[in-house]
Amino acid sequence: MTILIGPPLQVANAAALTAKKDTMSSLKASTLSNHQILFTTPTGVAAGNTITLTLTSFSIAAALDFEDLDLSQDATPDGVCDTGDTEKTLAATASGATWGAVRTSATVITFTSGTDTIPAGAEVCVEVGTDAESVITGIERITNPATGSYTLAIGGTMADSGSVAISILADDQVAVSGTVSETMSFSLGATSIALGTLSTSAVTSGSHTVTLATNAVSGLVLTYSGTTLTSGANTITAMSTAAVSSVGTEQFGINAKDNATPNIGAECSGTTPIVAAATGYSTADNFKFVTGETILSSAAGINSSTCTISYIANIAGATEAGSYTTTLTYTATATF
């Protein structure tokens, strides 16, 4: 009897791929789709090994080649492609560190390693179609089969293998519709301004806020109309052109700015985009009063905007005594 004694037999056991998924751009039947395939290989891929992707019943275009494919690895799996990945160099055939990447049939794509490897525990990403961009942007995609349940089989001569279930639908889109109504809001912060006793030695002033908002595509305008300060037959001269306050000279004017002389007013505020002071009323310390003009405007829709309208009055020594008043009407108009 002869007894042979030798080293123990070494058997390479294949492992199951983990964290497998195939994210497709469309699950609709008979529709072209990109595929982003992700899996983790416990054993890795040795030099000279192949990775095959078999999509039974799908149709891989005959023109699909390595330019429509990306292959990358991430030594630290993170569940996403590209981020932290090392891209593999692809060509029609394997050579050295370059991987071969070809459509081997209407349902199979094969990657072949030359001398390059993928380490154990690495996450592997395969991108097919227009998502493949490592060299140029891919063109060819894969056509989905009829409705039903299918399987992506991942294998080849590499040690590990696995599969991903795919469900193809009659339609993967939901039509959602909604209507946004045309809106405009306008409010006054006060409906009266008391300037007090007018003086030849100091400017008198007052202010109130306005708040505006609209989704009108061409925005809105805020205009005002009315007369200057009036007492019977007597008036205080309206500022027909924008000018600074001049104490001792008859003046009545308004603006929508943060002024220093006198110290009154504020800039328009809100979350961009907001309304803005119009020409003639948009320079600090310059005031104007011409009935019917625009004081605030926007060229497009605006979020809720709050602006301060400031009033000044000056009188001369010869200004007639009396109680001077006026009523101004503010009109907001949106263009939808």
Whether the CB-CB separation of 88 and 71 falls below 8 Å is answered with yes
Q: Is the pLDDT of residue 13 over 50?
A: yes
pLDDT digits (tens, 9 = 90+) for 181-215: 999 999 999 999 999 999 999 999 999 999 999 99
pLDDT at residue 14 is higher than 80:
no
Distance CA 114, CA 116 (A): 6
Q: Tell me the pLDDT tens digit for each residue of 104-126.
A: 999 999 999 999 999 999 999 99
pTM, two decimal places: 0.62
Residue percentage of the chain with pLDDT more than 70:
96
Average pLDDT on 313-323 reads: 98
Q: What is the pLDDT of residue 252?
A: 98
| pLDDT, the chain, mean | 94
What does the pLDDT average to over 33-47?
Answer: 97
Domains along the sequence of the chain with CATH: 18-168 (2.60.40), 184-334 (2.60.40)
pLDDT of the residue at 10: 40
